[in-house]
């Protein structure tokens, strides 16, 4: 038997990207007064209130399911950040939507969609101090985009200005 017959055939490897449909989520940037943000605290960590965007649903519609208890719905102003991250087998797309500034009285009756989480109003600097690096970048970018009335685009932790064609909203 020739020596080459003992060597197994080389297996072709498929790219890991996008074996599954993307995970699409929505986060709410809820300013409270001039210097605070509404956050959800779960298991000792804080996050902007977040939920999934389900099939056939827009990010705007999904935003209404993140917080409960608003008599007239969540006052979403606009889209401030579109963030995409390629994981090993799928893409994660996060839409950050900003609401109109709310008072502490406005947010008091609100509850988070996840019963394990509790809503808290924290000063913006305290929120930024407690967030992980990528989440901190997303919040700072969202605050800047809100202040200058624009939408920011991120891909794999890199900010793009202007957005690449593949990140531009359709």
Rounded to an integer, what distance in angstroms lies between the CA atom of residue 107 and that of residue 96?
Answer: 19
Asked if residue 48 lies in contact with residue 39, where contact means CB atoms within 8 angstroms, the answer is yes
Beta strands in the chain (DSSP E): 23-32, 36-42, 45-47, 50-52, 67-68, 76-86, 91-99, 111-112, 118-123, 152-155, 158-160
> Residues 2-26: pLDDT tens digits?
555 565 556 655 555 667 788 999 9
What's the predicted TM-score (pTM) here?
0.83
Residue 51's pLDDT band, with cuts at 50, 70 and 90, is very high
> Residue 111's CB: how many other CB atoms inside 10 A?
14
Interatomic CA distance for residues 161 and 167, integer angstroms: 11
What domains are defined for the chain?
Answer: 29-155 (3.90.79.10)
The pLDDT-based confidence of 44 (bands split at 50, 70, 90) is: confident
Position 21 scores a pLDDT of 84
With a cut of 70, say whether residue 165 has pLDDT above it. Answer: no
């Amino acid at each position: 038997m020739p020596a080459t017959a003992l060597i197994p055939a080389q297996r072709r490897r498929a790219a890991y990207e996008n074996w599954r449909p993307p995970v699409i989520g929505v986060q709410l940037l809820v300013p409270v007064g001039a210097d605070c943000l509404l956050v959800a605290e779960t298991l000792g960590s804080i996050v902007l209130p977040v939920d999934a965007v389900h099939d056939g649903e827009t990010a705007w519609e999904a935003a209404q399911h993140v917080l409960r208890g608003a008599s007239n719905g969540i006052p979403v102003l606009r889209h401030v950040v579109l963030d995409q991250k390629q994981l090993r087998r799928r893409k994660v797309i996060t839409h950050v939507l900003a609401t109109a500034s709310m008072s502490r009285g406005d947010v008091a009756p609100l509850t988070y969609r996840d019963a394990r989480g509790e809503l808290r109003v924290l000063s913006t600097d305290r929120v930024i101090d407690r967030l992980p690096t990528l989440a901190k970048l997303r919040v700072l970018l969202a605050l800047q985009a809100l202040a200058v009335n624009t939408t920011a685009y991120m891909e794999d932790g890199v900010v793009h200005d202007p957005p690449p064609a593949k990140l531009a909203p359709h």
